[in-house]
A and B are shown apart, each in its own frame.
Chain A
Amino acid sequence: MTRVRYLIARRVVQVAILLLYFGGNYYGWKMLTGDLSSSSILGTVPLSDPYAVLQMFVAGAVISSNILIGAAIIFLFYALIGGRAFCSWVCPVNIITDAANWTRRKFGFDMVAKKQPSTRHLRYWVLVISLIISFFLGLTAFEFVSPISMVHRGIIFGMGFGWAAMAILYLFDLFVLKNGWCGHICPLGGFYSIIGKFRLLKVKHDSVACTGCMNCKVVCPESQVLHMIDKVSVPVTSGECTNCGRCIDVCEDNALGFFLKVKNNNEGEINNEKNE
């Protein structure tokens, strides 16, 4: 059971958020209305996607105070605490790409196509290009094509051909590029990678306890962030870590765990190196 603790917690959070939105539309619940682009808690606290707002700003829109406050709340939450937690704890696309990854591992597709033909920096390029297009065409470029929106809006307001977007994401991640969408292309993930760099909630690693089984690197969707495994006891500092906790789940040696760095001290960093 402990091996899927965070996995189950994430699925519960993801589904609960979508359910609240869905109920907000179809049953008139007031708890959480709107969708992941912009929403309202109990009809009072605004929440907005800061990346969408950035595109609106670049496109030349007049940003309302409601939207601005909502974007600030979300921005501060992920910048100060969660980091890229949106990707693994909220975004519904995560369920699809995790499924593709699971299929990859289960059937051994990784063995067939081992070489990754693309760089993970691609998402920052996409991020920059989306802002350039937003500026020149005067609209929110990524919001026009975002499969994330197609999926969550599809679930909340009606799907249309949105299922095709889901199938494309699944097949792309399964057969074309491992962690293709979430780990390479998605500019929203890139955006949260940048703002989440100095988050407080991080994964810590104890290289003394580590036996080097590399289970964590197998399941990690951003395995480059786990470069310290079995080498040094430092926390995961890369902004690309989604704080999904999957590595903690699969670690059988208690060498990984979350820690919240509230004060500027070395709590969580274990300073004795392996083989010392």
Chain B
Amino acid sequence: MNHKQEKVKSYRQPLSKSRRGFLGTTRNIGLAILGGLTWSAYVDEAKANKLLLRPPGALKESDFLKTCIKCGLCVDACRNRNGNIIFDDNGKRVGTKDPTLRLAVPGDNKPLGNPFFIARENPCFMCDDIPCVPACPSGALDILSVTNKKTKKLDINMARMGLAVVHKESCIAYWGLQCDACYRACPLMGKALSINMQMNKRTGKHAFLLPVVHSDICTGCGLCEKACIVEKAAIFVLPRELAMGKVGTHYVKGWDKKDQQRVGVAQSIHTIDKRSEKKAIDKLNNPGGLLDD
């Protein structure tokens, strides 16, 4: 029997029971790792969508994704809220308008089943009774975050769904045309969104009516975005983390007593090296060798 025949024979030999078991287990573990990694990769990609607006009172995105059970009770409440139901002349319910909130479906390219809204299509109307938040069974919509601590009453003005941002090049108010649609649409008109009047030097006799958003008041409801008259809204709501900058701790408002307290009794540190061991004025008075001839 030559070498080749021997090899063929060894392939044909039935596997021993222990070897069969070992190979089977290895295969199962390998498949489990394969499946697990593919699955994680997909889920990790799917959760990375940062460009979406959550209902009022939503926890921060990472907590929201693990806490929301995707039951849609907020969507139920939003659809059947006061003022959204259509009645006929006899007072009989005939239907509802489309709700603000909806659950992400396959094709939305958003984390599946979680509630969100698209402000340009259907903004949050900031109901006084906030029907969506008490409806949430899981606490993903945190009722305490929209409850006034003193009066113990729901207060939709405490919601922070996002922040309106103005793109001034496409805002016709910046061209000098008269438009204050967003300002008029804002439920917190004059507080969350105010008009900054400036002189129009081009005409010399008109004013610019420039919309300015105040991030400490704006709830991100999106009524301004819905109202914006240009083709693609020049004022639009972004998630707050995306729309806001952060100063960090190294700048202090010296004129603000409260802010000043952050640094306590900080003192400046002088580092002395070869360059700074003499004062600049001494260097000027004694240039050292430059004037010698």
Contact = CB atoms under 8 A, between A and B. Distances in A.
Interface of A: 24-28, 33-35, 37-40, 46, 48-49, 52-53, 56, 59-64, 66-67, 70, 125-126, 128-130, 132-134, 136-141, 143-145, 149-150, 153-154, 156-162, 164-165
A165 B106 contact: yes
A156 B63 contact: no
Contacts of A37: 69-71, 113
Interface in B81-120: 85, 93, 96, 102-103, 105-108, 111-113
B71 to A, nearest CB: 4
Contact of A145 (B42, B65, B137): B42
A40 B47 contact: no
Given A137-B40, A139-B65, A158-B102, A144 B76 contact: no
A144 B47 CA distance: 9
Nearest to A140: B66
A127 to B, nearest CB: 11
A35 B71 contact: yes
Interface stretch (B11-19, B31-39, B147-155, B233-241): B31-39
B106 A38 contact: no
B26 interface: no
B46 interface: yes
B86 to A, nearest CB: 12
Given A48-B71, A158-B103, 10 more contacts: A27-B93, A33-B76, A63-B138, A133-B39, A136-B40, A137-B47, A138-B65, A141-B43, A160-B107, A161-B105
Nearest to B65: A139
A61 B67 CA distance: 5
Interface string B56-79: 000000110111011111011001
A143 B113 contact: yes
B139 interface: yes
A62 B70 contact: no
B129 interface: no
B67 A62 contact: yes
B112 A145 contact: yes
Contacts of A40: 73, 137
Nearest to B104: A160
B145 interface: no
Interface SS of chain A: helix, strand, loop or mixed? helix
Contact of A64 (B43, B70, B93, B137): B137
A61 B63 contact: yes
A67 B96 contact: no
Contacts of A67: 69, 137-139
Most B Cβ at <10 Å: residue of A129, A139, A141, A149: A139
**6 closest A-B pairs by CB:** A160-B105, A38-B71, A161-B107, A161-B106, A59-B66, A34-B71
B66 A156 contact: no
Contact of A133 (B36, B76, B79, B85): B36
Contact of A33 (B40, B73, B111): B73
A48 B69 contact: yes
Nearest to A33: B76
Nearest to B78: A25
A61 B139 CA distance: 10
B88 to A, nearest CB: 15
